């Protein structure tokens, strides 16, 4: 019929940390591109949703709740073809690592590494149990950070967790490649979100001083566009790689 377009079904994605920032932008971009999207996040209320989106309030640090969360999502939306690990927290207090507290360390590791690893594990098992849908690529995409390599002395726990997530990505890539499930990591630079809002003045100065060759902050949509590229299988003969999405700030320069 003239004027009607039927959007191609791209798959079913679970995006964690989708209540705000990069995760929300990613969920929107995936949904607008033909994915059914489960958004899982801590926020008690769902953000505005389209028909292709379902919101689940979830704390990914509660690893005993992962199986039930996944079962609900599969019952609502069908088998997952894509996981986007985006839920993350930064240090409770930015400051000298010699004053870093076990409370901050445990919280950051519980979400950014432990919760992320065990959720990925339960999703990977599910994907292996489900026959791959014809022509639908499958992927696990983890939002790491430039701090996997760049030292952020005031957020030592965050940097260590993100470095470990870099290895997590490679491990899942090696384990799942033969099943046709790719694993990718995205390392954003400085992105305008709630996470960076306490450090806006500092990062504004950093950008103004030439710290970011592209001369601007990143936006959540910069990362979301990268997730979409990976999730729809546009980089078909790669797995275990990471992409630096930081306007060039991850270049080593002298
Ligand atoms: P944000 O604070 O806007 O979003 C984080 C989201 O994760 C929120 O919706 C929050 O509710 C959710 N979340 C936190 N803990 C959770 C938990 N236990 N269970 C479920 N959801 C949880 O920040 P953002 O910048 O959009 O961060 C998204 C990801 O991007 C994080 O992993 C972060 O480390 C990473 N990242 C951000 C930047 C940046 O500059 N903003 C840079 C590099 C990496």
Q: What is the pLDDT of residue 239?
A: 98
Q: Is 191 in the pocket of ligand 1 (CB under 6 A)?
A: yes
Neighbours of 226 (CB within 10 A): 20
Q: What is the pLDDT of residue 2?
A: 45
Whether the pLDDT of residue 226 is over 80: the answer is yes
For the segment 212-216, the average pLDDT, to the nearest whole number, is 98
For the segment 182-190, the average pLDDT, to the nearest whole number, is 99
By C-alpha distance, which of 6, 79, 10, 77 is closest to 39?
A: 77
**Residues 32/87, Cβ–Cβ less than 8 Å:** no
What is the chain's mean pLDDT, rounded? 96
Helix residue spans in the chain (DSSP H)? 21-32, 66-77, 102-109, 116-129, 156-176, 200-208, 220-231
Q: Is 59 in the pocket of ligand 1 (CB under 6 A)?
A: yes
**Residues 187/148, Cβ–Cβ less than 8 Å:** yes
Residues 139-150: tens digit of each pLDDT: 999 999 999 999
Q: Best of 14, 15, 23, 161 to mutate for ligand 1, by most ligand atoms within 8 A of CB?
A: 23
Whether the pLDDT of residue 1 is over 80: the answer is no
- Say what percent of the chain tops pLDDT 70: 98
| Structure tokens, 60 | 């990914």
Structure confidence at residue 115 as a pLDDT band (50, 70, 90): very high
| Structure tokens, 246 | 């930081």
Q: What is the pLDDT of residue 24?
A: 98
Q: Best of 73, 87, 155, 157 to mutate for ligand 1, by most ligand atoms within 8 A of CB?
A: 87
Residue 178 CA, ligand 1 centroid: distance in Å: 30
Residues 41-99: tens digit of each pLDDT: 999 999 999 999 999 999 999 999 999 999 999 999 999 999 999 999 999 999 999 99
Whether the pLDDT of residue 155 is over 60: the answer is yes
Least confident of 7-11, 76-80, 111-115, 226-230: 7-11
Three-class DSSP labels, 239-253: CCCEEEECCCCCCCC
User: What's the CA gap between 219 and 75, in Å, rounded?
Assistant: 33
Q: Is 143 in the pocket of ligand 1 (CB under 6 A)?
A: yes
Selecting among 56, 158, 203, 237, the annotated active-site residue is 158
Assess whether 158 carries a catalytic annotation. Answer: yes
- Give the predicted TM-score (pTM) of the model: 0.97
Higher pLDDT, residue 133 or 229: 229
């Amino acid at each position: 019929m003239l004027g009607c377009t039927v959007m191609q079904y791209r798959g079913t994605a679970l995006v964690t940390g989708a209540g705000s920032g990069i995760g929300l932008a990613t969920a929107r971009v995936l949904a607008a591109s033909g994915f059914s999207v489960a958004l899982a996040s801590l926020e008690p209320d769902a953000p505005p949703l389209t028909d292709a989106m379902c919101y689940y309030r979830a704390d990914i640090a509660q690893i005993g709740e992962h199986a039930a969360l996944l079962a609900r999502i599969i019952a609502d939306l069908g088998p997952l073809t894509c996981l986007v690990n985006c839920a993350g927290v930064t240090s409770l207090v930015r400051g000298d690592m010699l004053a870093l507290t076990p409370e901050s360390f445990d919280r950051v590791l519980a979400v950014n590494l432990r919760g992320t690893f065990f959720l990925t594990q339960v999703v990977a098992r599910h994907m292996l149990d489900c026959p791959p849908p014809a022509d639908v690529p499958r992927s696990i995409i983890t939002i790491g950070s430039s701090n996997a390599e760049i030292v952020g002395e005031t957020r030592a726990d965050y940097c260590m967790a993100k470095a470990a997530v870099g290895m997590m990505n490679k491990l899942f890539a090696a384990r799942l490649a033969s099943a046709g499930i790719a694993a990718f990591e995205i390392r954003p630079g400085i992105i305008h979100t709630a996470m960076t809002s306490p450090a806006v003045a500092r990062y504004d100065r950093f950008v103004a001083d030439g710290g970011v060759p592209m001369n601007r902050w990143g936006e959540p949509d910069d990362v979301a566009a990268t997730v979409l590229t990976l999730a729809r299988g546009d980089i078909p003969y790669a797995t275990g790689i990471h992409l630096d999405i930081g306007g060039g700030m991850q270049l080593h320069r002298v």
